[in-house]
Copies of this chain bind each other. A is one copy, B any other.
Amino acid sequence: MTKVNQSRDSGTTQRSLTKQRLVETARELFYQNGYEATGIKQILAKAGVNSGSLYYFFPTKEDLLLAVLERYKELLWPMVLDPVFDRTGDPIEQVFGVLEGYRKMLLATYCRQGCPIGNLALEMSEKSDAVRKAVAENFEGWRVAIRQCLMDAGDRLPADVDRDRLATLILTTMEGGVMQARAHRNLEPYEASVAMLRDYVDRLLLHKSGGVSECAG
C-alpha cells in the first residue's frame, strides 16, 4: 500500500468515525430532550464536531434524524432482542422478556425515559413524511420480531388467534404503558398493562392446553 493510499484510508476512517459520533450524539439528545427542543449547536458541542463536517454528512437536521432512525433499526437486535433471546428460548417468555426490558429502562430512569421511537412517532408524524415512514419501519421491525415469537409458539396458542394482530397489541401495550408511566412518573400503569396482557396470553395458552377446548369438545 502506498503512502497516499494509507493517508486516504485514514481520512475515510476519520470521516466515518465523525459521522458515527454525530449520529450517536444526536440519538442521545433527541431521546433526552425531543427533536424540536434539541439545537444543532448542542449536538456539535457535545460531539466535538464543527458545523462544516455536520453539513457535509447531513445537509439538514431532518437528515440527521433519519440517520438516527436508521441506527435504531440496526440496534433492534443487539440492543432490544438479543439480550432477551440469548437468555430464553421459550417464545412466550421472549415476548415478556422484551417487555420486561422496557420496565427496567423506566425503572433506571425514574420513569423519565421509555421508548425513543414512540416519542418521535407523536412528535414528528405530521411534520415530515420521511420521518413518519422511518418511525413506522422501526415499529414494523419490532412487531415482526414479536410476531415470529408468536408463530414459534405454534399450537400452544389457539389456531384462530391472529398472530399478526396479537403482535400489534403487544407493541401497543408497550407504547401505551410507557406513555402513562412517564406521565404519572410511576411504573404502575406499565406494570398493570403488561400484567393484563399476560393474563390474556395465559388464558389463550390455558384455552389451548385444555381449559376450555376440552370442555367445549
Q: Which residues of A contact B (CB under 8 A)?
A: 32-34, 36-37, 112, 118-119, 121-123, 125-127, 132, 135-136, 139, 161-162, 164-166, 168-169, 171-177, 179-180, 182-185, 188-189, 192-193, 195-197, 199-200, 203-204, 206-207, 211-212, 214-216
B37, A183: Cβ atoms closer than 8 Å = no
**How many Å lie between the Cα of A212 and that of B209 in the bound state?**
12
Query: Which of B172, B183, B212 has a CB less than 8 Å from the CB of A139?
Result: B183
Question: Which of A169, A172, A173, A179: most chain B CB closer than 10 A?
Answer: A172
**How many Å lie between the Cα of A168 and that of B172 in the bound state?**
13
**How many Å lie between the Cα of A139 and that of B179 in the bound state?**
10
By a CB distance below 8 angstroms, the chain B residues around A196 are 162, 165-166, 168-169, 200
Copies in the complex: 2
Query: Which of B119, B176, B184 has a CB less than 8 Å from the CB of A175?
Result: B176
A185, B122: Cβ atoms closer than 8 Å = no
Query: Which of B118, B165, B193 has a CB less than 8 Å from the CB of A122?
Result: B118
By a CB distance below 8 angstroms, the chain B residues around A36 are 34, 36-37
A interface, by DSSP: helix, strand, loop or mixed? helix
By a CB distance below 8 angstroms, the chain B residues around A183 are 121, 125, 132, 135-136, 139
Beyond the given A125-B185, A215-B215, could you list 13 further A-B residue pairs with CB under 8 A, ordered by the A residue number? A37-B127, A118-B179, A121-B183, A122-B182, A132-B182, A164-B192, A166-B196, A168-B188, A171-B189, A172-B176, A172-B193, A206-B212, A207-B212
